Amino acid sequence: MAASAALALLKITVGMKAGSTAVVSDGIESAADVFSSGIVLVGLIIASKPADSEHPYGHGRFEILSALGIGLMLFGTGTLICFQSIAIMREPGGPPKAYAIWPLLISIFVKSALWGMKRRWGKKMHSEVLLADAANDWVDILSGLLALAGISLTLLNPAGFPAADHIGGFAVGVVVIALGLRVVHDTALQLMDTMPDENSMRQIREAALSVPGALGIEKCYARKTGQRYHVDLHLEVDPELSVRRSHDIATEVRAAVTEQLDWVADVLVHVEPFAPATIAKGARASERSDGKS
């Protein structure tokens, strides 16, 4: 947040003094980063609170809501930048000063470091809001390059590209809008309990079936509640087993999945009687699917 605030102040001040629309637009985007990172911080703090009687699945969904807020903020910021660039484009003015390039170079370097750090920790923590903020930094790098290209064209050939700097500012806004829409789309899918990819579901099933006595899986669902997933699993066991032994197998399955997959928070196991005919039917369907593929 401190880095984004310093970059915003530097770019807006130098951009206005140098007469560069692209640099000022990039500075406005950096100013929005201060607020988006603040949302990330609050989201992570609240999401880390343990489960209670009113929130048995924990508070992780607040992190997803925070990421949704970042997406909406990015969309609004990008729209503002586009309108501002169009308004300034209509006003007469000379080419920007050459020193307007320096804040952009500094920003690209700093944001590259922040992008790498946030992306690494976001993947390690399975944090959607931190990954969204990392994507925001990636857009800062791209917008800085677009602004740099616009200024460079104007400085190299003021007569041939008099509006390149303004167009660069508009391009920055378009990129920010695109990222905002992507973040909103991804977080909305998670709020709708969209299942993880097939490879992740396969890992859950394999971990469950690695337990002795686990004969099959009738159903398996997963939904994200923050940084990790909660799984609902219908486990098939020998119908002749006692209730106690079936319960023990279910407990071992729950432990196996959570221990082998660090991105799974908990598993709710429902025990079903093993149905060989159902399993064979599912296997034949899988073979037909593999043959078609």
Give the C-alpha separation, 121 to 78, whole Å.
26
Q: Would the CA dihedral through 236, 242, 247, 252 be positive or negative? A: negative
Reading the block at residue 1, the tokens are 């947040």
Per-residue model confidence (pLDDT) at position 128: 72
**5 half-sphere exposure, CB direction, 13 A CA radius:** 6
Per-residue model confidence (pLDDT) at position 285: 47
Per-residue DSSP letter, 212: T
pTM of the predicted structure, to 2 decimals: 0.63
Give Cβ neighbours of residue 206 (< 8 Å, ≥ 6 apart). none
Residue linked to tokens 């470091």: 113
Per-residue model confidence (pLDDT) at position 267: 93
Per-residue model confidence (pLDDT) at position 33: 81
Per-residue DSSP letter, 210: T
Sequence spans of domains, the chain: 2-191, 198-292
Q: How far is CA 219 from each of CA 201, 204, 207, 268, 282, rounded to the nearest angstrom? A: 11, 11, 14, 12, 12
Matching CATH topology for 2-191 and 198-292? Answer: no
- Provide Rg for the chain, Cα atoms: 26
Is CATH 3.30.70.640 the classification given to domain 2-191?
no
Per-residue model confidence (pLDDT) at position 197: 84
Give the C-alpha separation, 140 to 135, whole Å.
9
pLDDT per residue as tens, the chain (293 positions) = 898 899 989 988 988 888 877 788 778 878 878 887 888 888 888 877 887 788 777 787 787 888 888 888 888 878 887 887 777 666 555 667 888 888 888 988 998 999 999 889 888 877 777 887 888 788 788 778 877 877 787 777 766 566 666 677 777 788 788 888 888 888 888 787 778 888 989 999 999 999 999 999 989 999 887 778 889 999 999 999 999 999 999 999 999 999 999 889 889 999 999 876 554 454 454 455 455 54
Q: Which amino acid is at 121?
A: W
Per-residue model confidence (pLDDT) at position 48: 79
Per-residue model confidence (pLDDT) at position 293: 47
CATH number of 198-292: 3.30.70.1350
